[in-house]
Structures are given as C-alpha cells and as structure tokens.
Structure 1
C-alpha cells in the first residue's frame, strides 16, 4: 500500500511539474515567495481594522502569531524527524522533473502549505461571522501551495499533509483562544 501511495505521489508530481512551461515559470517563482504576498496581507489588515477596530486587530495578530509559531515549530520538527529529500534533491526523481528552483531543506511536510492553511483557517474561524467573504481568502494558500509542486520542491503528499496539519493547528489555536482567558481582553472577535 505504501509503495502504491509513493508511486502515485511521484507520478502526480512529475505530471504537475512537467505540465508547466517557461511561459509560467516566472509567475510560479514569484508566487512561492512569502514576502511577495505582503500587499495582500496589508489590504486584509486594513479591512479588518476598518471593520472591527484596533483592539480586535491586535487580538487577531496575537492569536495568529501564536498559531504561526506553533505550526512552524511542529513543521520543522517533523521535517527533521522524517528527513525526506525534496524531489529536486532526490536522485531517483530529479531527472524526470523540470528543475526551476532548488532548496536544501527537507520536504515532508510542506511548511508553505502548513503555515498558509493555518493562517487562513484561523482567520476564517475568527472572522467568519463578521466578514462573510473571508472564505474566499482560501484561494491564497491553494496558489501558494501549488507553487511548491510546480517548482518540484514538494511531493503532493507533503502539500496534503501540510495543509491538513495547518487546518488542525489553526483549529486547536482557535479552540484555545475561544475557551481560555489568555486573550480575554481581545475577545471582541469571539464568534459566539
């Protein structure tokens, strides 16, 4: 069974990676860099501030920072534990890929997917009743995560597990936020 999953994982990555072309390479290289998305986040922060005020924005940023620290720490621990080579560094699959970009860290699971899905899920859980359009923000982690496949930096299972972990981490952080007094002064965002 595991061999079948690994074969599917490799075959799907090769398909997704080789389906691209030089016409799209620049966009996907841009999309994979987190700092390039800063303008989107600034617009989102401005919208949150205008809709809910400074107190809610500070509360959201505190919970988000806690969630991102938790997610990034867990991701790094898992990467060091599994030590799965990135596809572009795996001598068995590298010849089958369009190598556009390299990376020396490990592959399993994707920090890009985990962090982006954690941030988006937490924003969704905290804002869904105050800003009904926030669900559309899930387009960002999908593009951000797909860029890792396009560039051959992750296997599909790395992305799927990273996204799932991000959603679970955000749900746990939201549960802590909503049921504890740690953020009592900032409960304005509470969706109850």
Structure 2
C-alpha cells in the first residue's frame, strides 16, 4: 500500500470520529485569532522578566515562526500542490468539514509548523528554568490534530509541519545562543 493511501485512510478514520460538541471545540482550537491572548501573554511575560534580553529572545521566536511558516506556505504548498482532503474529489463526500475548507493546497500544515515552532522555541529558551513548558507540546499536538478533525489536513501534512516547526526552532535557537551576548540596548 502506498504512503498516500495510508495517509488517506488514517485521515478518514481520524476525521470520522466527531460530534457536535467537539466540532465547536476543534473549530476554536483550529482558529488563528483565538490564540492571540496567549501570544500577548507570552510576549508580555518575556518582556517583563527578561527586559533588555527580550528583544533577542522575541526575535528568535518570531524568526523561527516566520521560517517555518514560509517553508510550509511559501515553498511546500505551491511546490507539492497536494489538495486538502476537503478539496479532494475522490473523498470529498466522506470528509467531515468544520468551518471553511481553506486554500486549495494543504501540504504541509502551517498551523502544525507554527505551534510546534512556538512550543520548541519556548522549551529550548526557558525549559530548564520552567520545566512545565513541555506542556506546550500538548497544546501543539491538540492544535495539529484539530486540523485533521476539521477536515483540512492529512496526518502527513501535520507531521511534516510539526517536524519543520521543530527544526526551525532549533535552528533559530542555535543562532540566538551564538549571538545573544550582543546588546540591543546601545
């Protein structure tokens, strides 16, 4: 069996387990604007606790998100051109879609990339001081799963996005650690 067929079967199985209550929850989890208060809280906490270092820390996190998002949305989606499951005519009638189907192409998931980028960035930057940050990975997994639940991504889209997000965060963390001794306050 081909990888694409396995991915489609896994998607259909995961997507078929739905109910009205979870539809509302997953639509919220999958939203973009719903997480703005969390992002503001993270940014505010970093600025409050790290003051002058905050610029470098925030630049590292922002650059990792930009890199992961651009790789997924700017490079891979137009290059691979894999239809989202909700746009795939062969399975369209079997797909449970919650909300809008989104753009035509879905490989790979920017939601998964960006949530795993944030989780990994926070863990790499602050995990030793705040071990509970590892729970941001649970948040990233739930956000990523929500993309399958709402019918807009295959599991491989999500796994690839997550991997890209982790790698982007690792790369930016290495760069940050190499140059963090430079001062932005002068």
Instruction: Give the TM-score normalised by structure 2.
Output: 0.90
Alpha-carbon distance change, 145 to 183 in structure 1, aligned in 2, over 3 angstroms: farther
Q: SS of the counterpart of 1:185?
A: coil
CA root-mean-square deviation:
1.8
- Rounded to whole Å, the distance in 1 between the matches of 2:138 and 2:182 is 31
Whether 1:57 and 2:54 are equivalent positions in the alignment is yes
Which of 68, 71, 75 lines up with 1:71 in the alignment? 68
Q: SS of the counterpart of 2:183?
A: helix
Q: Number of matched residues?
A: 182
Decide whether the 8 Å contact of 2:43 with 2:58 is kept in 1.
no
2:128 corresponds to which residue? Answer: 129
- Rounded to whole Å, the distance in 2 between the matches of 1:107 and 1:115 is 14
Residue 108 of structure 1 deviates from its aligned partner by 0.5
Q: SS of the counterpart of 2:78?
A: helix
1:190 corresponds to which residue? Answer: none
Residue 48 of structure 1 deviates from its aligned partner by 3.5
1:14 corresponds to which residue? Answer: 12
Residue 57 of structure 1 deviates from its aligned partner by 2.6
Residue 183 of structure 1 deviates from its aligned partner by 6.4
Q: SS of the counterpart of 1:53?
A: helix
- Rounded to whole Å, the distance in 2 between the matches of 1:162 and 1:81 is 15
1:177 corresponds to which residue? Answer: 176
- Rounded to whole Å, the distance in 1 between the matches of 2:104 and 2:119 is 24
Q: Equivalent residues in 2 for 1:86-125 (5 A)? A: 86-101=84-99, 102-125=101-124
- Rounded to whole Å, the distance in 1 between the matches of 2:160 and 2:26 is 21
- Rounded to whole Å, the distance in 2 between the matches of 1:48 and 1:99 is 37
Instruction: Give the TM-score normalised by structure 1.
Output: 0.87
- Rounded to whole Å, the distance in 2 between the matches of 1:36 and 1:144 is 11
Decide whether the 8 Å contact of 1:31 with 1:143 is kept in 2.
yes
Residue 17 of structure 1 deviates from its aligned partner by 1.0
Decide whether the 8 Å contact of 1:14 with 1:97 is kept in 2.
yes
